[in-house]
A = this chain, B = another copy of it.
Amino acid sequence: MNTKDTRHSLIEKQISSEKVFSGTLLHVYKDQAELPDGSSSVREWIDHPGASAVLPVFESGEVQLVRQFRYPLQEVFTEVPAGKIDPGEDPLITAKRELEEEAGVRAKNWTSLGMFHPCIGYTNEIIHLYLAWGLETFDNHVDEDEFLHPVRMPFQEALSGVINGKITDGKTITAIMRAASWWKTNHPFPLDLKL
């Protein structure tokens, strides 16, 4: 949908860029940008390395999710396993590593569910999404500094949670919706999913 038709009258050009905060996780920039009418404005944004997330589906019809406390919202969320991409890393490798580390699961079969942008207003983060099946479990080793509880539920329960608002995490919503749509067309094994 990002066609060029009207782009010339929308684009903003970087005039200058200043790093205003360099943290452990966050890297914040304050830029001056030239707007389409020639005026200038401040643009503040976060530089992010990108992430990968995966929805793992068991032949029982259950999906493997994780529960994690998210500090900015002071709340425990139900999420797909996910993590940041290391420099130069293939996003699929990231997804495989996070599935092992966060959920103690390996998968024989992987398919891409494309990517999406969680927060286009103030970060350049891209999240690559995958669907995995043909799963095997093992004792998992959670990252130091990362407290997670794996949780399984029927794929349909997760899908209903996305629609009725019980699941509210953006990457989890997008992964589950795209996975459900993909499954209805490709169905590696039978699942009755109601969208």
Contact = CB atoms under 8 A, between A and B. Distances in A.
A149 B10 contact: yes
Task: Please classify how large the interface on chain A is, using the bins under 10, 10 to 19, 20 to 34, 35 or more.
Answer: 35 or more
A11 interface: yes
Contact of A7 (B30, B76, B148): B76
A67 B173 contact: no
B11 A76 contact: yes
Given A1-B166, A9-B147, A72 B122 contact: yes
Copies in the complex: 2
A78 interface: yes
Interface stretch (A21-29, A90-98, A103-111, A132-140): A21-29
Interface string A165-195: 1111111011001101100100000000001
A32 to B, nearest CB: 11
B26 A44 contact: yes
Interface string A1-45: 110001101111000000011011110101101011100011111
Contacts of A71: 12, 31, 33, 43, 45
A25 B122 contact: yes
Contacts of A37: 147
